Amino acid sequence: MPNTGRAVAYIDLNILEENYNKIIAKLSHEVGLLCVVKADAYGHGAVEVSRRLESLGAFFLGVATIDEGVELRDNKIKTPILVMSGIMPWDDIVTPIQYDLTPVVYDLTMLAMICDGAKFSQNPLKVHLKFDTGMGRLGFMTHDTPKVLDLLEGNKNILVDGLMSHFSSSEFKDDFGAAQVNEFKKVIGDFQQRGFEPNVIHMANSGAIINYPDAHFTMVRAGISLYGSHSSMELKKQLPTRQVMKFVSKVALIREFPAGYGLSYGRTYVTKKHTRVAYIPVGYADGYPRSLSNKGSVLINNRRCDVIGRICMDWFLVDITGHDEVRVKDEVILLGESSTDIITADEIGEISGTIPYEIFCKISKRVMRVYI
């Protein structure tokens, strides 16, 4: 793979397909897969990723905003698209109808607004109704189910295409999660008793695909596992998907320093001996976390080399003392696999005190994406 820029994120769509198939293998034939492509497919590139997922037969694609959905439609993506953050109070409802987007609705005021606004459309607005069974974020409270049904009953402008909920913790199975499933089942029953038969019922995310098979219903939602990261090592064992992204740069400069020399801002690293240093033209403006200062490592010629000194906006430094074979223009793997080792987003997230989602999402637009 030629490295044609100062920083490149290679997106291996063949690995994405491999991961998709591993997830599908965990599902029964009647369960569909929603693939989450919000936030530019977690930094992987929503359009290219969605094209491949559509070719594989993804049941739904999940975005966060109407604008993200419109971008996919403008790029000829025809798969059903769920707008998971729904319609904001300042949004119109014409755009979702025009672009055949399905918003999530999770608030009584929003539902009333949509019921009123949709009457001006020739076509009903398809929605998925989200219920809070214990996540404490978005969703109708389950005790408000009768109010939701009263608003919807007889309304020809709204088509309840789906019901959904969300686990608060799916990386392990516990009584709280089981109680959430039971609470959601009561909501489903309430809708069925009032004559509603949604096409899609979903609750399980990446972790719950493994830990809560009784919550698969008619569709599951795969996000981080699709891109090769996991919220726990146990999940990684049971669903061994591989990292789709490889984030690389090159050695731009090599310098040598005597013992006692402070390197980078604040002199947080002082050389203890004669030290050979490689300069990498990547920084926190590219999405390489500043929190890896004096803690991270990279792969150069299949060897782990330590990040030294503070990571800057556009540069960071690596100790290559003892690695005399390292030369200017050698590839530097910041995230990804060499022939002998791998640096994962899970590892970087743990060192940085964050999660792999953030590591992927923060890789900035000035990093060139190359699709394999």
pLDDT tens digit sequence for 269-300? 999 999 999 999 999 999 999 999 999 999 99
Q: Does domain 245-371 have CATH number 2.40.37.10?
A: yes
pLDDT band at 145 (very low <50, low <70, confident <90, very high): very high
pLDDT band at 230 (very low <50, low <70, confident <90, very high): confident
User: What's the N-to-C CA distance of the chain in angstroms?
Assistant: 9
Q: Mind listing the pLDDT tens digit for each residue in 47-84?
A: 999 999 999 999 999 999 999 999 999 999 999 999 99
Q: What is the pLDDT of residue 231?
A: 75
Q: What is the pLDDT of residue 4?
A: 59
List the chain domain ranges.
31-231, 245-371
159 vs 61, residue with greater confidence = 61
Q: Are 142 and 183 in contact (CB under 8 A)?
A: yes
As a whole number of angstroms, the distance between CA 118 and CA 97 comes to 9
Residues classed as catalytic: 38, 265
Amino acid at 67: D
Q: Given 3.40.1190.20, 3.20.20.10, 1.10.3720.10, 1.10.10.10, which CATH number is that of 31-231?
A: 3.20.20.10
Contacts of 131 (CB under 8 A, 6+ apart): 106, 139, 140, 141, 142, 145, 163, 164, 165, 183, 184, 187
205 vs 154, residue with greater confidence = 205
As a whole number of angstroms, the distance between CA 104 and CA 86 comes to 5
Average pLDDT, the chain: 94
Q: Are 200 and 60 in contact (CB under 8 A)?
A: yes
Give the pLDDT mean for 303-326.
97
Q: What is the pLDDT of residue 276?
A: 98
105: closest CA among 121, 83, 122? 83
As a whole number of angstroms, the distance between CA 155 and CA 150 comes to 9
pLDDT band at 146 (very low <50, low <70, confident <90, very high): very high
Angle value at C-alpha 49, between 73 and 341, nearest 5 degrees: 165
Is 0.85 surpassed by the pTM of this model? yes
As a whole number of angstroms, the distance between CA 208 and CA 223 comes to 11
Q: What is the pLDDT of residue 236?
A: 83
pLDDT band at 372 (very low <50, low <70, confident <90, very high): very high
Q: Mind listing the pLDDT tens digit for each residue in 206-225?
A: 999 999 999 999 999 999 99
pLDDT band at 94 (very low <50, low <70, confident <90, very high): confident
Does residue 334 sit in helix, strand or coil? strand
Give the pLDDT mean for 106-115.
89
Least trusted range by pLDDT, from 26-40, 128-142, 233-247: 233-247
Q: Is the pLDDT of residue 242 over 90?
A: yes
Q: What is the pLDDT of residue 357?
A: 93
Q: Is the pLDDT of residue 118 over 70?
A: no
Q: What is the pLDDT of residue 119?
A: 67
228: closest CA among 217, 240, 214, 242? 242
